[in-house]
Amino acid sequence: MKKFFCLTIAIFTCVLVYAQEYKLTGVYPTHWWVGMKNTKLQIMLRGANIAENTITLSYPGVQLVKVQKVDNRNYVFLDLNITPGAKPGNLQIRLRNPNGTGTIPFTLKPRRKGKGTEYANGITAADFVYLIMPDRFSNGDPSNDRVPGMRDQSLNRDTIFERHGGDLKGIQNNLDYLQELGVTALWLNPVIENDMPNRTEHGYAFTDHYKVDRRIGGDKAYHDLVTDMHKRGMKMIQDAVYNHTGIEHFLFRDMPDSTWFHKWPRYTQTTYKDQPLFDPYASVTDKKLMSDGWFVPQMPDINQKNPLFANFLIQHAIWTVEEFGIDGWRIDTYAYNDLDFMNRCNKALLDEYPKLHLFGETWVHGVINQAYFTENKFNISFKSNLPAVTDFQTHLYGILPALKEPFGWTEGVNKLYTTLAQDFVYKDPMKHVNFLDNHDKTRFFSEIGEDFEKWKIGVGWLLTTRGIPQFYYGNEILMKGVSNPDGWVRLGFPGGWPSDPQNKFTAAGRTDRENDAFNYVKTVANFRKQSPAITSGKLMQYVPEDWVYTYFRYNDQQTVMVVMNTANEEKNIDLVRFAERTKSFTGARDIVTSDTFNLSGNWKIPPKRILILELIK
């Protein structure tokens, strides 16, 4: 007698057909929604010899368009059309082979309330983004510090490369702190499972796209955090990685076929040189090495020209936004991806969620280089549809030389001025994300020689220049660290663990200077939130003179004047020079000290000082 059992989506759920055990190891995506703008869906089924089955389904409003089989008989791909008339429910995927039959339930859910209008709201220049590495911020749930069965069982805060135990609950516990600081959006380093044997603290080597890493709390903790943030009016940015996986990803260890990852006769690393992608004189070999070489030996390079893998990645991106209510999408190692694939992926996300903000990591050298990878005004054959980038140009060739180099015709603060003067190449530079440092860079306070006055100049610039400001966790309490190696810039936030001797989440746990730093960020960031000139206004900058850089943020409602003296001595400025922007005002108020200024004559600007002034009529 044949035995018929229903397969479920749970990992390693079994069906008995005669005396043979059949294992279903995964359904991807795990579920979907009715009412999506794109009615097409491709489901990947993974299980031992699953391709030996005949597969059918019957559900009102859902059509099985095609069944695709690949070289590896452990996979099968189902192309579905979920019509607008389909209702939420459980459809049954039926399997039949000579030994019997079985079914796999697949859930179609109703979409989130608002269908993209009350989530996926995007990140704008009105936001203040705070970047957190979850393992290194705060341990809110010690029960998940180690998860049995996962490869990396490290837990040692005395090392820089092993896990420390921070998690999503720890972040949620400190949302009040972040809101007091003026933060409106969080960007977390990747939250997706990284079941690698080591170096799992950073999260960039995925091993299962459809699981939030259980060591930071798993799916439930992520849902809880995002829900709490949305109730507070805060936004969540997810860190996306399309270019590579971890070497332990099941799609690499058990490939559907040999074309899913870029393979070389021997290990071949990318050159990290972006120029061949747009160089009119580039060799084909150099282009291939840049795009198809592996980032590091532990991260296999994805072949995004494989249509099945491309669909897998695009659908996962859409699934994540809908499942968790994500508002922004930061794309890792953008230049190393297949750029035609990225255009396709960006379009799919923006078609479904028009307000979602996408920005890519473009660690390249030169404004022209960077502009190639985002929406630009060039008349060239390849046109990127990426709305924005992490602006490495204002970082590497702007604020850092402004504070570290002596003043010169092209040196010092003139580099910041010159870099911003090239904004004409971008479609909308207000969408770019500016930063002083991040998880890969030397911490800003260390970069400028632990000079507190220069630190204030950098923070003041970040929060008043054009674009979206991004702040790295702990900078508000002057955390230090040099990125050689990178673990030194990823230390735990003091107070994030019960055993910490100081709790710098509280004013009582901070030193006087740390409180000065925290309060400076808090004051400027919270002013910024209420400043239409900064969050949506125009930028006018003046050519730097004698170490001093002056610029204005303005609209019809408000004008903010910013004066940066980058010298080690007092400087004079003549207010007549700025009459174009100041003539309709009589005075100015320092937004930090509340001191007032008369808009006439000469000003003496103290050494290493930034003035952020709201003009008064």
How do residues 435-462 score in pLDDT, each as one tens digit?
A: 999 999 999 999 999 999 999 999 999 9
Within a domain: residue 119? no
pLDDT of 85: 95
Average of per-residue pLDDT across 64-75: 98
Phi, psi angle pair for 545, to nearest 5°: -130, 125
The identity of residue 249, as a single letter, is H
What are 225-236's pLDDT values in tens digits? Answer: 999 999 999 999
Judge residue 328's burial from the number of C-beta atoms within 10 Å of its C-beta, 0-12 exposed, 13-18 middle, 19 or more buried: buried
What are 275-332's pLDDT values in tens digits? Answer: 999 999 999 999 999 999 999 999 999 999 999 999 999 999 999 999 999 999 999 9
CA distance 538 to 110: 41
- How many angstroms separate the Cα of 527 from the Cα of each of 128, 182, 476, 557, 589? 11, 9, 16, 15, 12
What are 251-265's pLDDT values in tens digits? Answer: 999 999 999 999 999
- The number of angstroms, rounded, from the C-alpha of 175 to the middle of its chain's C-alpha atoms is 19
Tokens of 223: 């849902």
CA distance 209 to 521: 36
Query: For residue 303, which of 194, 293, 71 has the smallest C-alpha distance?
Result: 293
Pairing outcome for strands 468-472 and 433-435: parallel
Same domain, 21 and 145: no
Q: Which of 361, 391, 423, 476 is catalytic?
A: 361
Within a domain: residue 120? no
CATH code of the domain in which 551 resides = 2.60.40.1180
What are 465-485's pLDDT values in tens digits? Answer: 999 999 999 999 999 999 999
pLDDT of 24: 84
Within a domain: residue 394? yes
pLDDT of 14: 39
Among this protein's residues, is 332 annotated catalytic?
Answer: yes
Q: DSSP 3-state assignment of 240?
A: strand
Same domain, 503 and 369: yes
CA distance 506 to 355: 35
Q: What is the pTM of this model?
A: 0.95
Among this protein's residues, is 176 annotated catalytic?
Answer: no
Same domain, 481 and 375: yes
Spatial neighbors of 310 by CB under 8 A, at least 6 apart, are: 304, 341, 344, 345
- The number of angstroms, rounded, from the C-alpha of 57 to the middle of its chain's C-alpha atoms is 38
Within a domain: residue 382? yes
Tokens of 287: 């282009």
Answer whether residue 210 shows pLDDT above 60: yes
Same domain, 427 and 320: yes
Tokens of 601: 């004559």
> Quick check: 185 and 123 in contact, CB under 8 A?
yes
Same domain, 309 and 341: yes
Radius of gyration of the chain (CA): 26
DSSP string, 117-167: SSS-----TT--EEEE-GGGT--S-GGGSS-TT-S-----TTSSSS-----
The identity of residue 299, as a single letter, is M
- The number of angstroms, rounded, from the C-alpha of 511 to the middle of its chain's C-alpha atoms is 31
Spatial neighbors of 604 by CB under 8 A, at least 6 apart, are: 570, 571, 572
CA distance 538 to 429: 11
Average of per-residue pLDDT across 65-94: 97
- How many angstroms separate the Cα of 33 from the Cα of each of 83, 107, 463? 11, 8, 39
CATH code of the domain in which 26 resides = 2.60.40.10
CA distance 206 to 550: 45
Answer whether residue 115 shows pLDDT above 80: no
Angle at 30 between CA 25 and CA 33, to 5 degrees: 160
pLDDT of 23: 62
Domain end position, chosen among 502, 530, 558: 530
Within a domain: residue 48? yes
Residue 273: CA count within 13 A, CB half-sphere: 11
CA distance 382 to 274: 14
DSSP summary character for residue 562: E
Range of the domain at 29: 5-109
Q: Which residue has the higher pLDDT, 118 or 373?
A: 373
Domain end position, chosen among 80, 109, 138: 109
Phi, psi angle pair for 131, to nearest 5°: -95, 130
Spatial neighbors of 108 by CB under 8 A, at least 6 apart, are: 31, 32, 33, 34, 59, 62, 82, 86, 87, 88, 89, 90, 91
Same domain, 283 and 325: yes
Phi, psi angle pair for 236, to nearest 5°: -115, 135
The identity of residue 372, as a single letter, is Y
Please give the sequence-ordered ranges of beta strands (E in DSSP) within 381-463, or none if there are none.
Answer: 388-390, 433-435
Answer whether residue 365 shows pLDDT above 80: yes
DSSP summary character for residue 397: I
Query: For residue 533, which of 562, 550, 557 has the smallest C-alpha distance?
Result: 557
Confidence of residue 341 (pLDDT cuts 50, 70, 90): very high
Same domain, 270 and 386: yes
Q: How many structural domains compose the chain?
A: 3
Confidence of residue 118 (pLDDT cuts 50, 70, 90): low
For residue 367, the surrounding DSSP H or E stretch is helix 367-372
CATH code of the domain in which 283 resides = 3.20.20.80
Query: For residue 254, which of 47, 28, 77, 20 has the smallest C-alpha distance?
Result: 47
Within a domain: residue 115? no
Interhelix angle 512-529/452-462, rounded to 10 degrees, is 20
Confidence of residue 13 (pLDDT cuts 50, 70, 90): very low
Same domain, 469 and 366: yes
What are 161-176's pLDDT values in tens digits? Answer: 999 999 999 999 999 9
Q: Which of 332, 338, 447, 476 is catalytic?
A: 332
Pairing outcome for strands 357-361 and 388-390: parallel
CA distance 604 to 573: 7
Within a domain: residue 237? yes
What are 125-178's pLDDT values in tens digits? Answer: 999 999 999 999 999 999 999 999 999 999 999 999 999 999 999 999 999 999
pLDDT of 128: 98
> Quick check: 460 and 416 in contact, CB under 8 A?
no
Same domain, 32 and 178: no
pLDDT of 452: 98
Domain end position, chosen among 488, 508, 530: 530
Confidence of residue 12 (pLDDT cuts 50, 70, 90): very low
Answer whether residue 2 shows pLDDT above 90: no
> Quick check: 565 and 607 in contact, CB under 8 A?
yes
Query: For residue 207, which of 189, 190, 219 has the smallest C-alpha distance?
Result: 190
pLDDT of 495: 98
Query: For residue 586, which of 575, 599, 577 has the smallest C-alpha distance?
Result: 599
Same domain, 306 and 163: yes
Same domain, 431 and 355: yes
Within a domain: residue 139? yes
Same domain, 182 and 314: yes
Q: DSSP 3-state assignment of 439?
A: coil
Beta bridge partners of 261: 302
